[in-house]
Amino acid sequence: MVVHFPQCGRQHQENKGTVIVKQKFADRAATKTELYTVMRKMDDGYDADNGNWEYSIVDRSAAKVLSRGRTDSCIACHAPYARTDYVTRLYMKSTRK
């Protein structure tokens, strides 16, 4: 499934229940999945200082949740993007030529 975020990069607020999944590849050619990272928009008050996002890391088979919650490393990387509700696509580098 491909999801288009027309607001990404512009000031906006995602709706409660929004789920964003990023597939992390183990190789530059993007053929071997290493893991998935997930952002899920929670109820107001879940973590108001960080946009009420819950972060998860899921194994490559998508069968086991490795971590879930207010993950400090995720919060630290997303903090500069408060204006766009902590969502960014700037980390994505194309492997296409």
25-76 pLDDT per residue, tens: 999 899 999 999 999 999 999 999 999 999 999 999 999 999 999 999 999 9
Residue 40 lies in a domain: yes
Region 9-14: mean pLDDT is: 67
Total tally of structural domains belonging to the chain = 1
Residue 1 lies in a domain: no
Q: What share of the chain is helix, strand, coil (3-state, %, to 5)?
A: 15, 30, 55
Residue 8 lies in a domain: no
| Containing structural domain, residue 72 | 19-81
Residue 32 lies in a domain: yes
Residue 72 lies in a domain: yes
Residue ranges with strand state E in 3-95: 19-25, 33-41, 53-59, 65-69
* The model's pTM: 0.78
Handedness of CA 81, 84, 90, 92 (dihedral sign): positive
- What is the gyration radius of the CA atoms in the chain, in angstroms? 14
* Short-list 40, 37, 3, CA closest to 22: 37
